[in-house]
A and B are shown apart, each in its own frame.
Chain A
Amino acid sequence: MVYQGSNEIEEKGMVDWITVLFYLGFVLLGWLNIYAASYDLENAAGLFDLSGRAGMQLVWMGTSLLLAFALIKIDVRFYETYAFLFYLVGIGLLLVTLLVAKEINGSRSWLIIGPVRLQPAEFMKFIIALALGKVFNSYGFRLMDRRNLLIVSAIILLPVFLVIAQSETGTALVYLSFILVLYREGLPGGFLFIGVAAIIYFILGIKFSDGQIGIISEGEFFTILVIIIFTASLVWSYMKRSDVFFMILLLAATTFLIAYIVSLSSVMIDWGVIAIIALSVTALYLLYLFFRYRRKSYIYIFLFLVSSFAFLESVEYVFNDVLQPHQQMRIKVTLGMEQDLSGAGYHVGQSKIAIGSGGFTGKGFLNGTQTKLKYVPEQDTDFIFCTIGEEHGFIGSTIILLLLLIFVLRLLHLAERQTTLFGRVYGYAVVSVFLFHLIINVGMVIGIMPVIGIPLPFFSYGGSSLWGFTILLFIFLRIDKSRKRT
């Protein structure tokens, strides 16, 4: 609850064995599924054969366990003390990688040292988490101070840009998930709301960009209606004035009603223009409220409305001119705008076939055909969940999904019980990373999220990612171990 004494580091606590058991379980299940996914029908390598993927994963698992053991043994103060040093080294490695890496599978993120191939971006996750923890734990830190906000943003965004430059967009998005940490530590919910609103505008704007209503597209039309509703809701939520909420909706409805009446007298009405007029009426009403009551919040909500509209107008430009064609295609396929089963939709199509063909109980261990015969791409890395779905069916994949959820909730519980701000911030960073990976990876495989190439923690094949997740988790367990207990 409260600090007892000053710098007590006497070790009394235990490692959270529940989390460790989850970890061991996941790694073991992951190993079996990697074996199944990469199982070669003609010359099957054994589970322990080092020439096969499963054998190699065993090596990564062994080294990870050693790593975990070492991380638990290290003095807890080590992590906080050297957090910034880690950060500098991490940024340095990212830069070096950017300069020397050769292109592998379209990305320049691999650092090759002799026989070892490493992806520094994977290790950057715990490094950013440590740096964030240290910043938050500094004396008199208040997140909403402009200077602090800037530092925190810089810590997160610098590696984001470096990793994007390596063409590892997925990993960059993982770093952005640290916004959850900021949210927990006092970032106003409005920021998250803005983020969610932006995603909604984007999806509506792109998905319905083909139809036309007057001078604007269907997407713009619907989005304008959503903006009006959001604006009204913000007034209700922040100003606690339900009358204004209904007033805004009434004004918009009146605008459309008048237009409808006019249209009856055989005057051509451009409904796109009417929607823009309705939005403008709402904006003017907010300005009126601001001058009447002199409350700053009205001007913020007004700005929300204006920038929402500006964002909407730029969405199409961003989509068509900033995103690359394959990224556009992935988004279109996810939004159901394209049914291209042989092109961009092929991977997701085959992945859904693999999972769907599993049925209730699955085809049984090593009996999946979709993954073994390489219909599913990356079947032992990013698309490993397919193998689970195909061979263990609805039962198996649901159990794994629920176990991962319980694992994340357990981490959330651990994060919240931390007695230092450093520990809690680090804990939330761990939660953010795992939750984001879980949502994006599984969502991609089952066809709900666009294809963003990030692994499923502990299940996907790969040394760097397993090491990265192990380090991330066990530093947290180390910190948790030496929390103050009452």
Chain B
Amino acid sequence: MSIHNPLAKRRYIIAGVALLFVLVYVMQLFNLQMLNPQYREYADSNAFLRRQLYPARGAIYDRKGNLLVYNRPTYDVMMVVREMDQFDTLDFCRTLNLDMERFHLLNAGMRDRRKNPGYSSYTPQLFLSQLDVEEYGLLQEKLYKFPGIYIQSRTERQYNYPNMGLILGYVAEVDKNKMAADPYYVRGDYVGKSGIELSHEEDLRGEKGVEILLRDAHGRVQGRYEDGRQDKAPVSGRDLTLGIDIALQAYGEQLMHNKVGSIVMIEPKTGEILCMISAPTYDPSLLTGKAFSANYQSLENNPYKPLINRAIAGTYPPGSTFKPTQGLIFLQEGVITTESRYSCYGGYPPLGGRPACHGHGSPLAIQYALSTSCNSFFCYGLNGMLSNRSKYATVGEAFDIWKDHLVKMGLGYPLGVDLPSEKRGFIPNSKFYSKVLKTDRWNAHNIISVAIGQGEILVTPLQLANLSALIANRGYYYTPHVVRERKSAVLEERFTTRHESGINREYYDVTVDGMADAVTKGTCRGINLAPFVEVCGKTGTAENPHGDDHSLFMGFAPKDDPQVAIAVIVENGRFGATNAVPIARLMMQQFFQGEIPESDQWLEKSIINREILPYVYTRNMPVK
């Protein structure tokens, strides 16, 4: 034919149409593949199922190597609904010891997308959680009979001792806030919620691994991405060893039975906490497993608040146990010397015998004042310091120097123990009083009760124990801590840094002598373990506006080369000598001898049986 035919030109139109379409298509390809990177993400989120591989949580040992906390496997029953043909529901229920009603309830719960947003009939869905080993064994035997049923293992915390629930803390499923704050966590992860489990979460949790699986359009797993080359194996959590001696801890909890209060013992040379009792407390195994919610609820409703760790979160006026700090400050500031004597006539004379005092020789110097716990002496001291205008320009300046000394002794701020929710206590500064008294022109007599540990002063039992350790060390302390060793890691530097109080050693020596006298011939003779151990101590009786006075004791032993510092607080326990001192005595016996000598067994029995519970308003509250 002929290309002169005008119709032959139409081939160019046809070619043009073809060209046009291909051009448009190339542009669309450019648009899809070059301008829209989100398609890659869509494809990846379609195809990759990142399955978490959970590491074993670290175990926890006590200072003598006793295993306290470990992991126990539990088993979850998973269901793939699509694979469940010819399913013998009756046999299944019998195996798991379920009745039909509960089966249908669980089944409905699993399929309910409101409760289980990720439901799919193609993928394993959680049907029943936390089978124990026996249940697991029964099911495993018959598993071949139940198509579509799978068992997934998890781990659960297991406790060897029913003690120190408050210190160990508990683990539970991670909540939304935590997930938002830390991208490490995803829904369903377990995380430490309190105690060591929370404060050492990063040690204990280890590192999750991940397995990248390929998932088809129905959600079924089709294999491993690149044969697992991109997978990451989980790294087990770090084991922790505590400074706590479980025997001592258990014994302390036993002594504090039916009482409210706290015992803290610290090894002064290291700052390791030997025991930390907060009463009432709870058995940590209550907060594991299926009964978690019920038990948690009942603990939370308990009027004595067993979920509060009073050793670090209870704040108390220290009462007379505060006096050693006062003596030290006055000596260091040169307000008094070791020989300065003040008179006491059964009370502080400048204020008409208030605060009152008790019978002892007068006038008296610091050592004797400590052993007899004379109120007047320390009131004179505070007044002498705050009204010394040749040394301090204003009362405020003097008071703030006073306050700085106390802060250096570890009071007024959280010590930084490795436990969550530590309270700071309270040491006021001059601004505080200027505000409260609405003038800058106040003097020592307006606030005289702080000199004897009353008034606004508040400390935690841990701070008090730390103060004992500071005095025992004659001037320094290490931040108290419960964890003494982290497996294959060093202890944090803040726990191995020595904190100096800035007060001369000679002043400590006289203070220690005073506290030794208090034990041998003063207010706390009840803890005199001579000649076996030379104990130094100071009692306290803190006024409590809500009821009976709190009974306090702080001390350490032996006097030379101290091994242990202790603080005991018994709420509403009246005089320090009544309850705190005998408890401290028994704890010392237990610490040094590992048992209670026969001569003290009547005391032990008496203390254990003592019930000192403050009155609580319990209307509409179940009383246990």
Contact = CB atoms under 8 A, between A and B. Distances in A.
B33 A435 contact: no
Interface stretch (B34-42, B131-139, B231-239): B34-42
B11 A356 contact: no
A389 interface: yes
B40 A398 contact: no
Interface in A399-429: 401-402, 404-405, 408-409, 412, 415-416, 418-419, 421, 424
B357 interface: no
User: Which of A357, A360, A415, A443 has the most C-beta atoms of chain B within 10 angstroms of its own C-beta?
Assistant: A357
Binding site of B, secondary structure by majority: helix, strand, loop or mixed?
helix
B214 A374 contact: no
A431 B15 CA distance: 10
Given A352-B32, A394-B29, A41 B223 contact: yes
Contacts of A439: 18, 21
B25 A42 contact: no
A345 interface: no
B390 interface: no
B222 A397 contact: no
B32 A416 contact: no
Nearest to B41: A357
A359 B8 CA distance: 41
Interface in A347-404: 350, 352-360, 369-370, 372-375, 389-390, 393-394, 397-398, 401-402, 404
Nearest to A405: B22
Interface in B36-63: 36-40, 42-44, 46-48
B550 interface: no
A448 interface: yes
Query: What class of interface size applies to chain A in its complex with B?
Result: 35 or more
Contact of A412 (B15, B37, B44, B223): B15
Contacts of B25: 401, 442-443, 446, 448
Interface in B136-168: none
A355 B33 contact: yes
B42 A374 contact: no
Contacts of A295: none
A404 B22 CA distance: 9
A356 B30 CA distance: 9
Nearest to A41: B223
Given A42-B223, A357-B42, A369-B43, A401 B29 contact: yes
A186 interface: yes
B388 interface: no
A418 B1 contact: yes
A359 B41 CA distance: 11
Given A353-B43, A374-B216, A418-B1, A409 B15 contact: yes
Nearest to A370: B43
Nearest to B216: A373
Interface in A293-344: none
Given A41-B214, A369-B47, A443-B25, A358 B11 contact: no
B26 to A, nearest CB: 5
A373 B215 contact: yes
A447 B28 contact: yes
A353 B28 CA distance: 13
A202 to B, nearest CB: 18
A187 to B, nearest CB: 10
Nearest to A415: B11
B15 A356 contact: no
Contact of B36 (A2, A356, A431): A356
Given A397-B29, A419-B1, A359 B40 contact: yes
Contacts of B21: 438-439, 443
A359 B34 contact: yes
Interface string A429-447: 0010001001100110011
B238 to A, nearest CB: 37
Contact of B24 (A358, A374, A448): A448
B29 A355 contact: yes
A394 B33 contact: yes
Interface string B5-32: 0011011001101110110111011101
Nearest to B226: A367
B46 A389 contact: no
Given A357-B39, A359-B34, A435-B18, A370 B47 contact: yes
Contacts of B218: 374
Contacts of B43: 353-354, 356-357, 369-370, 375, 390
A435 B25 CA distance: 13
B35 to A, nearest CB: 9
A203 interface: no
Given A369-B46, A373-B217, A446-B28, A405 B18 contact: yes
A366 to B, nearest CB: 11
Interface string B228-251: 000000000000000000000000
Interface stretch (A74-82, A115-123, A177-185): A177-185
9 contacts: A1-B2, A352-B32, A353-B39, A355-B39, A373-B46, A375-B43, A412-B14, A416-B11, A431-B14
Interface of B: 1-3, 7-8, 10-11, 14-15, 17-19, 21-22, 24-26, 28-30, 32-34, 36-40, 42-44, 46-48, 214-218, 222-223
Given A389-B29, A408-B18, 4 more contacts: A357-B42, A373-B214, A373-B222, A443-B21
